[in-house]
Amino acid sequence: MLARRELCEAQIRTRLARRQFESDDIEEAIARLQRERALDDRRTALACARTEAHVKRHGRLRALRQIEMLGIARDVARAAVAEVFGDLDEDQLIEQALNRRLRHDPSLEEPTAVRRVHRYLLAQGFDAARVHAAIRSRARHAGHDD
């Protein structure tokens, strides 16, 4: 299971239980994997956070949700997200997401378009205040281009 990608303890437990292993056997396997350092929730959280940030280009909040959905403890998830996003310019990530979203229809003249883009960026896990500022800035610059 671990040959393909990093898995967290909760995922291993679930998969072994699904295959109907006894709980004592599952505990023994988890302990052995942790001793051998084949299983490390922190490492898994960091890998997930890096994927969310660098590959999927999601924001901090969405990365945190994804890591927690894996079954990783909240404090481990927060630390991983803080480490990965500490070096990133989140405003630039928002700008890139905004460019992707507005690639085919760059207009933010209609209030419904603004609300739709705002919801999209929030769903991508970006901070609401930063999203609002980016949209406001984009709309201001669009007004000067005419």
Q: What is the pLDDT of residues 29-50, one digit of tens each?
A: 999 999 999 999 999 999 999 9
The pLDDT score that the predictor gives to residue 3 is 77
pLDDT tens for residues 96-125?
A: 999 988 887 777 888 888 899 999 999 999
Cβ–Cβ under 8 Å, residues 117 and 108: yes
If one compares 104 and 20, the residue with the highest pLDDT of the two is 20
